[in-house]
Structure 1
Amino acid sequence: MVEDRCPVCGLPKELCVCGEIKREEQKITVRSERRKYRKEVTLIEGLNPGELDIRSLLKDMKSKLACGGTYKEKEKTIILQGNHVKKVKPMLIKWGIPPEKIELLG
């Protein structure tokens, strides 16, 4: 019987914890910024697209916060319209990111 194993840790795929470990190593910064025409945006920086499904996370945030938003791949930043700094942290925790790895600024 051939068992699928993780190439990183060598554990069976069902027991692999590599994704969780990588998720715990992230340092995520959430901050608010004023842009053109006095519009506020929320910036979520430090997300690693290899461990999280950024598109699904963004879609979930946009629907729950009732706002527009985008993901900039070069900067690895999610941009949400409006000031949602305090509302974003519980959503990131729900997606499996430890609270101590999330830093809120302004």
Structure 2
Amino acid sequence: MDLQDQLKHLFPDHVSEDPQEVNQEDDGLWLQEAPIICKYEKRKGKPITILEGYTGAQEDFKALAKDLKTKLSVGGSFKDDKIIIQGDYRDRIMELLKEKGFKVKRVGG
């Protein structure tokens, strides 16, 4: 019997807080300390919004990309640890990420 089991027997009502559980959202996305960078570019004359700087699992970042694309009803892709959204949706994306609990930093313009 290790120390954790002994403490559970002594204090059965105590709920321990694991750092990973505190930083998890209900939908399973890892919330990080560093902000996600949201920037605007034009490629071939068309505006795009790029999100980068996520430190969690790649599957979580892909799920976040899919969620953003469906909520905004726009196209986009996930390449090289970056989410590329078609169009200039920086303000709406920043609001959606803040609602999920992410820190977001706006870069460029």
Question: Would the TM-score normalized by the shorter structure come out above 0.5?
Answer: yes
Flag the 1:51–1:93 CA change in 2: closer, same or farther, 3 A.
farther
Q: Structure 1 stretches of 5 or more lacking a match?
A: 4-13
Residue number among 66, 69, 74 corresponding to 1:62 in the alignment: 69
The answer to whether residue 78 in structure 2 is matched with residue 71 in structure 1 is yes
Q: Structure 2 stretches of 5 or more lacking a match?
A: 5-15, 25-29
TM-score (norm 1): 0.69
**Runs of 4+ more than 6 Å apart:** none
Letter of the 2:82 counterpart = T
Paired residue total: 90
Fraction of identical pairs, as percent:
30
- Conservation of the 8 A alpha-carbon contact between 2:74 and 2:86: yes
- Conservation of the 8 A alpha-carbon contact between 2:35 and 2:102: no
Once residues 51 and 15 of structure 1 are traced to their aligned partners in structure 2, the CA distance between those partners, rounded to angstroms, is 25
What is the CA distance between 1:52 and its match in structure 2? 7.4
Q: Which moved further from structure 2: 76-85 or 42-51?
A: 42-51
Q: In terms of Rg, which structure is larger?
A: 2
Flag the 1:26–1:54 CA change in 2: closer, same or farther, 3 A.
same
TM-score (norm 2): 0.67
